[in-house]
Amino acid sequence: MERSTIVRVHEGLHARPATRFVKLAKGFESDVEIIKDGKAVSAKSSVKLMLLGVKENQEVVVRATGADAIEAVEALIGYLENPKAGLDDEGETQSPASGAAEAVTTAPESLKTEPAGAGSLRGVAASEGVAIGPAFAHFPPQITAQAHTLKADEIDGEIERFRAAVSAVQARMDRALAQDSLSAGDRGIIAALRDIAADDTLTGEAEKQIKGGTDAVSAVVTAAATIASDFSAVDDHYLNARADDVQAVGRQLCLALLGQDDVSLENIPEGAILIADDIGAWDLARAPLKRIGGVVCGHGGATSHIAIIARSHGIPAVLGLGDKINALRTARQVALDGNSGAVIIDPDAATSADFAERVEAAARERAGLTVFKGVTPKRSDGTVIEVAANIGSLEEIEAALDAGAMGIGLFRTELLFMRHMHLPSEDMQAETYSALAKAFARHPVIVRTLDIGGDKPIAGIEFPEEENPFLGWRGIRMCLDRPDIFKRQLRALLRAAVHGNIKVMLPMVSDIGEVRQTRVLVDECAAELKAEGVAHAMFDLGVMIETPAAVLIAPALAKEVSFFSIGTNDLTQYIMAADRLNPTVAKLNDVTNPAVMSAIELTARAGVAAGIMVGMCGEAAGRPDLIPIFVKMGLTELSMSPASIQRAKKTISAMEASA
């Protein structure tokens, strides 16, 4: 029994998804293989699965042979196509801080510190923030191969000793997973390490070495090095980082064989900077993370599990220093900037004072802003100002909720289309929009219909060659010309509306006829769903104001729709006739230009006069210097990146207090 499919697992079958896939495969008696580009590996080996390098949107074949082959293939295909279904507590989606994705957030240039002097180093900026504190050197002794040749009658006993070590390491990791204090992200990492410890690839290679007469410790060192080398050779930066995980597991197995415990981090002082050549995710996940001020490491990169753990716990980290880490072995104090990758050894008084002030300022700001998470900001007349989040995927929901978002002011549906090799089905879209609605059931969720073209082409739709695609076939123009695509999205949105306060807005509107044509399609879709007996609900329809034409006809548009949302990024570009992607005219892309601000005011005035909501979902919505102006214009909804939400709430609350 075999079937092919397109992998929908975000970022592909890396460590944690591979662990979940293998766990599912092991639940069936059948032999199961996954095949990519003609290469087949066992679906019950996480190491082999990761080394296959299966990425999101790639085509694979799942093959099973045995009594329950049909059930196995169906279940595994189901996971690959819908990885969120049926996850256990080890399979929780990572927070954006630990994954999305797992890119490094960098600070503005004004916040970056350049290293100065002989005591300065630079590595990989792996987790943002600054820190200064006493150095805590963590350089446990290396484990080297013992090079002991076994006698023939010693081999069986050595294999038993090795298997006991594997069981001991697994049991230790199981105990760690049982701790309630472990975060979901850390739990997933440890589960992946536990799976590597028992994987047939690692244990099989080690046992092969032992059967050839090599002692168990040397066999593990050799096997781990070989597999780590294989990971390093894969053309994927995330899988390259798994080499460190294999070496970390190998070390734990060797320690178990030697009857030793690793050097503990339990005694690290409060606020200390952890210095290490290489620290395994297993060790860091079990460390007293609240006491660690920062991490500096010779190994690791932005996608390593060390970086993921550091980011998820808000610990500044600089990794990948290589041999330069040895310069910190005798350091007394260390300052680090996780935004720029700078590390300063034994900083002078002026540098110490600067870092201390920056640390205190950041702490004050964070502490001061968190109180605004649950605040409902209002104008002096009592009108609520909704501070919402701009997001483009379900993975970003957690960050929005943690920030205190009062709903979603912009859900960019084009990202759902762009991340797949084929146009997403109605069911897939309905599932995504429904999950969004359920997550913010108490608040409005504004979904932007497909906005592609210009700088955002997608697979499955052939775009014509255009001299200026920003002024061409994009947004609502393309959708109305392709009702086969547009109606699928509208039907999905109608189905999702039964789960929450879904609102829908149209991008790139420049003519009232575009709104009226859309309403006709919405009514057609609703009638079709009713005839099919499919649950659905109507939604409010609004428009994005991002073309000069929309501004000039705003009074007429306001009579046709339920709300406006001002997209300042494109509005500024079109009003100033300056490509926002062209650095030579960047200075013209200024939302504070009187022409742009006048357009915003004209839009707000038209919306207020018609009694409809006027919001903003461009980057300007989160600017503390502009928020008071927008609120005074009559805007009652501001949508921004989750990181700006609490600051925006503070700004609006301060306006109310001073009124």
> Residue 3: which H helix or E strand, with range?
strand 2-6
Tokens standing for residue 434 = 């429904």
DSSP 122-153: E-EEEE--EEEEEEEEE-PPPP----PBPPGG
Q: Where are the beta strands (DSSP E) in 19-115?
A: 31-36, 39-42, 59-65
* Residue 261: DSSP 8-state: -
Tokens standing for residue 65 = 């042979």
Residue written as token pair 């912009």: 410
Parallel, antiparallel or unpaired: strands 444-448 and 408-412: parallel
Exposed, middle or buried, 223 (CB in 10 Å: 0-12/13-18/19+)?
buried
Parallel, antiparallel or unpaired: strands 59-65 and 333-337: unpaired
**Alpha carbons 18 and 46: distance in angstroms, whole number:** 6
Distance of CA 412 to the CA centre of its chain: 15
Distance of CA 373 to the CA centre of its chain: 21
**HEC-encoded secondary structure of 502-570:** EEEEECCCCCHHHHHHHHHHHHHHHHHHHHHCCCCCCCEEEEEECCHHHHHCHHHHCCCCCEEEECHHH
Tokens standing for residue 246 = 């294999």
Residue written as token pair 């994705």: 101
**Alpha carbons 34 and 38: distance in angstroms, whole number:** 10
Q: Across the chain, which distance is largest between two alpha carbons, in Å?
A: 93
**Alpha carbons 281 and 252: distance in angstroms, whole number:** 12
Axis-axis angle for helices 349-370, 645-658 (nearest 10): 70
> Among residues 363, 304, 290, which one has the least CA distance to residue 124?
304
Give me the active site residues, please.
305, 617
**Are the beta carbons of 93 and 84 closer than 8 angstroms?**
yes
**Alpha carbons 211 and 223: distance in angstroms, whole number:** 13
Sign of CA dihedral 644, 650, 653, 658: negative
Residue 566 contacts by C-beta under 8 Å, 6 or more apart in sequence? 544, 545, 546, 600, 603, 604, 614, 615, 616, 617, 618, 635
